[in-house]
Structure 1
Amino acid sequence: MTELELRLEAFVKLGDLFREFCEFSNKSEHNQESTNEWFLKFDETITLAGHKNGWFIKENILFCLEKWGDLLTEEKLVKWLSDYDVDLNKPKTVALIMAGNIPLVGFHDFMVTILTGNKALIKLSSNDNILLPCVIKYLTHVAPTLKNEITITEGQMKGFDVVIATGSDNTARYFEHYFGNKPNIIRRNRNSVAVLTGNETSEQLNALGEDIFRYYGLGCRSVSKFFVPKNYNFNVFFEAIFSYNPIINQVKYSNNYDYNKAVYLMSEFKLLDNGFLMLKEDESYSSPIATVFYEVYDSLKELELKLEAEKEKIQCVVGNGIIDGEIAFGETQNPNLSDYADGIDTVEFLINA
């Protein structure tokens, strides 16, 4: 078995573990005597991650692991990588500077780095520095040769050949200053939007709630803005998403809702509010927690041109028969292996870097 085959096998085993662990976690009763030791380690890690970052509730972490479990199968991984000539890659050390907005947000970059035959030099965000180390422990357990290929550092990054860095628009300027002389992918703020026509079913609008509320709207694939026609009836939307109202019981979310509402009211902004989500007319894409911005469009054709002109700010467009490449309602948090952040093919990038 080649080194790359061993690496692929390790991620397949990780997918098996994710699926089995999620099934174990969803059971109401557990037989501790027959429990896989890695189930216990992951359970402890999830609890610790939640203590470290209050946004990382167990439900969302399990959702993340379940989605990765669905993707990390031999069939899907082999099919995905078959589009590339990975053997052309010249082994290099890839500096991975990860964000921490949602659980394991940098996992795809890490996986691509390893599966293309490179070493990973990782700097974790302080907001998400618990989960990936546990995942790496499992990978190096099933594939000990990876121990020398993966390094997590807290200090200054040295000895790397390529950089993949994810952050805000502000940190991107910093990254460009320090890493601009190396082959790089530097990611900035992006948000996702939904295009509504008024013809959506209540089921579609309810599914849109998943795109808005999953991970509390903190991901770049989270819908933070609507485009709506004139005289759009927001009551229909509010009725359709009412089932998500328990989110207001999450303390951090509730505090943000109260704070942002107070700011809006003091500024005398016009708001639409259902008690757990506010809608505010605004041209910006990045809305605060518990808020979705909206903008009125005159024609879908003009809107399509606008979205194309501002595509650098947009990660996903949710809609139903509106534009090419749109994502169905409720599906923004279910990317495929080939759904690359910012549309930049990281496998191709690393092979050619």
Structure 2
Amino acid sequence: MSDPRHVALDETARGERLDKALAGRLIDVSRARLQALIAEGRLRRDGVVITDGAARAVPGDYVLDVPPPAPAAPEAEAIPLVVLFEDAHLIVIDKPAGLTMHPAPGSETGTLVNALLAHCGASLSGIGGVARPGIVHRIDKETSGVVVAAKSDAAHQGLSALFAAHDIERAYVAFTRGAPDPRRGTIEAAIARSTHDRKKMAVARSGGRAALTHYRVERLFGPEERPLAARVICRLETGRTHQIRVHLASKGAPCLGDPVYGAGQPAAPVRAAMAEAGLARQALHAAILGFVHPVTGETLRFESPLPADMADLEARLAGL
């Protein structure tokens, strides 16, 4: 079944290149993908098929039929996993930085899904779909920490419901350039695909998906009045793509080492600490994951200590 996306263009879009106008309003469809779908005749305006994405936009109601992704069955791979909990229904993993959650174009192998297929065997097959079996939530490739995957349909449905209802405890530790001001608070800012770079997300001026992050500065590094860096605990109520990274950057305190959202250089002593610690990714760690087991009703809570690079970074920052 295709997934129709409805977009209403008003007078402000008139004369703009059509594929560009639509891409700016479809946060989860890349412009290249959109152009291909238009060429295939999957775009209609007021019921009339349009096949030229370079045409000039006119106001109207547009419908884009997005076909489901072609399932690609991942192969099992014997990748070591740190298992925090496992039963017949679910498995909790302490994911290292550098491990992608599931296969995607350009990274079809070496993912957590490949590792889970080898570890769990047939019990994981097909749960939640062929392409992403067992996956109910994601953390970025270069973010480390606790993730849960489903091994049964009952667990998959139950966990998906918990995440949809935001009935999950999720806490992340971030080391930031400078410190957010005020030192604790809530960032409530919708997130959408950036209109300037389709590979990035951004705080949306209008539209987007609601996003809510509670944060608290746990420790300052350097002068208290003008800290060079900070350890910040972030608790999520929503789980948007790159949410913490985007929200902290919007406060002028991006994660250290973030290659996408970390515009601006940290102070020289902080750069030195990062280099000496071997930090080669964003300093973000999924430290706590808590939820009620969707099948047994047991309350589960897991904590992951800082990985070596972030622990070493904190020790070096402490000397500033």
| Same fold, judged at TM 0.5 (above) | no
Structure with the higher strand share, 1 or 2: 2
Q: Which structure's relative contact order is higher, taking Cα pairs within 8 Å and 6+ residues apart?
A: 1
Task: Calculate the TM-score normalised by the size of structure 2.
Answer: 0.24
Task: Calculate the TM-score normalised by the size of structure 1.
Answer: 0.23
